[in-house]
């Protein structure tokens, strides 16, 4: 039972990673659509990791799982958004 869910989660993770890699490598869509597509694939990857490997839906876990998970997601998205913001300068800042 558990082995099947791990294999399914692993397969989904591989498919999402390959899709993001191919989108970024081949520039299959315009640049203004590529970033939201990659962010969407990454977000879906986070959800798959949480449900298939981190066992977020298991009722037997500690009750503070959700209380710890929400700030972790906020920090993760804040770091990702700030990284994209910093990379968007593209050397435009002058000392």
| Residues 44-67 pLDDT 10s | 998 888 878 776 666 666 666 777
pLDDT of 95 higher than 60: no
Structure-derived torsion over alpha carbons of residues 28, 88, 17, 61, reported in degrees to the nearest 10: -150
Please indicate, yes or no, whether the overall pTM of this predicted structure exceeds 0.75: no
Could you give the CA distance from residue 68 to residue 57 in angstroms, rounded to a whole number? 14
Q: Helical H runs in 1-95?
A: 2-26, 31-52, 65-87
Two tokens, residue 62 = 């500690």
Whose tokens are 């520039």? That residue is 27
Could you give the CA distance from residue 75 to residue 81 in angstroms, rounded to a whole number? 10
């Amino acid at each position: 039972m558990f082995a099947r869910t791990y294999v399914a989660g692993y397969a989904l993770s591989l498919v999402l990673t390959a899709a993001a890699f191919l989108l970024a490598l081949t520039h299959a869509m315009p640049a203004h659509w590529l970033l939201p597509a990659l962010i969407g694939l990454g977000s879906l990857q986070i959800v798959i990791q949480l449900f298939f490997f981190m066992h977020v839906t298991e009722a037997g876990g500690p009750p503070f799982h959700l209380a710890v998970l929400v700030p972790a997601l906020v920090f993760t998205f804040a770091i990702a958004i700030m990284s994209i913001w910093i990379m968007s300068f593209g050397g435009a800042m002058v000392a």
